């Protein structure tokens, strides 16, 4: 019971953050070229060094935003919210108590180990993947408060039927239900995830300074989560090396995706992806609801 209360409090905090910062918009930092131009010349430093350090600065900013919103959404939305949805479906299926789920969990059994396992192997990986995708497509979304929820719908239609949580092959829907409640609960969670990512990423981007020699502990603090989550830390470390060696690649890509032609192409790609996944989504919903 205490575990479910804690999850409820965490989810409420996530909803409060979403509502409070729903009008925020992602504000990227200056490009590495502009940052390098601001650096005072130093006779003991190679001429190429300012540009490479600036590229690393910008990469660290984006990596910190990704780690911050990924960790927070994993804890407050996909983690706490997903655990509450599971508990809700177990409560509405008393006849399933004691049965095993696809993940070898026991229906009706609330344990710290099971919750931790779900958080590490389910909630956080999905949260980080969705956060990375959001940062990629953010310029292609509508401005204002609709962008985040719309991104959540894109996730729901384009990902849920193939990976989870609405994969029709998952026999958990034969164990707990009803099916319509499962669909509604996970759909609401997906929309909340999108809205949370948009709100918190926008808020964090406006308050997060670039790392510098005099100010590095605060801007890099969220990266501690990437160190704890070892696979994510390895990926981000590899990205840092690339950003330092090839400082023009990241700003070129960021500017391209946010350009007028990039936004147009990106929106077309998003629309095509949603239309391509829509039949599978509709089929999955009907399959789950009819169980």
Residues 63-113 have pLDDT tens digits of 889 999 999 999 999 999 999 998 888 888 888 777 777 767 777 677 777
Select the more confidently predicted residue: 234 or 65. 65
- The answer to whether residues 183 and 4 touch, using CB atoms and an 8 Å cutoff, is no
Give CA 216 to chain center in angstroms: 24
pLDDT of residue 45: 46
pLDDT grade, residue 48 (50/70/90)?
very low
Q: Where are the alpha helices (DSSP H) in the chain?
A: 2-20, 32-38, 49-73, 80-91, 112-118, 124-137, 147-158, 172-175, 179-207, 217-220, 224-228, 230-245, 249-258, 260-289
pLDDT grade, residue 208 (50/70/90)?
confident
The mean pLDDT of the chain is: 84
Prediction pTM value: 0.87
Select the more confidently predicted residue: 250 or 125. 125
Query: Whose CA is closest to 289, among 188, 186, 191?
Result: 186
Query: Whose CA is closest to 173, among 107, 74, 77?
Result: 107
Domain spans, the chain: 50-289
Instruction: Please give the Cα distance from 272 to 255 (Å, whole number).
Output: 23
The answer on pLDDT for 43 being more than 50 is no
pLDDT of residue 237: 80
Q: Which residues pair with residue 100 across a beta bridge?
A: 106
């Amino acid at each position: 019971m205490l575990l479910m209360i804690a999850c409820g409090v965490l989810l409420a905090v996530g909803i409060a953050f979403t509502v409070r910062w729903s009008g925020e918009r992602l504000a990227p930092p200056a490009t590495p070229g502009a940052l390098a131009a601001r650096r005072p010349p130093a006779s003991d430093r190679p001429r190429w060094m300012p540009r490479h350090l600036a590229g690393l600065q910008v990469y660290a900013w984006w990596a910190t935003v990704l780690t911050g919103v990924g960790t927070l959404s994993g804890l407050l939305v996909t983690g706490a919210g997903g655990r509450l949805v599971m508990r809700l479906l177990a409560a509405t299926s008393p006849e399933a108590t004691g049965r095993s789920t696809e993940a070898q969990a026991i229906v009706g059994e609330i344990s710290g180990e099971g919750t931790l396992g779900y958080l590490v192997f389910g909630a956080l990986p999905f949260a980080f993947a969705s956060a990375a995708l959001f940062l990629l497509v953010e310029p292609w979304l509508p401005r204002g408060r609709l962008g985040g929820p719309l991104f959540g719908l894109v996730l729901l239609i384009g990902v849920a039927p193939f990976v989870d949580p609405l994969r029709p092959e998952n026999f958990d829907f034969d164990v707990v239900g009803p099916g319509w409640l499962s669909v509604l609960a996970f759909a609401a969670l997906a929309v909340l995830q999108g809205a949370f990512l948009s709100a918190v990423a926008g808020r964090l981007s406006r308050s997060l300074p670039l790392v510098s020699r005099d100010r590095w502990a605060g801007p890099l603090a969220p990266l501690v989560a990437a160190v704890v989550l070892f696979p994510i830390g390895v990926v981000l470390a590899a990205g840092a090396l690339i950003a330092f060696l090839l400082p023009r690649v990241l700003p070129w890509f960021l500017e391209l995706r946010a350009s007028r032609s990039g936004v147009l192409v990106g929106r077309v790609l998003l629309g095509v992806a949603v239309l391509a996944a829509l039949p599978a989504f509709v089929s999955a919903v009907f399959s789950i609801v009819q169980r």
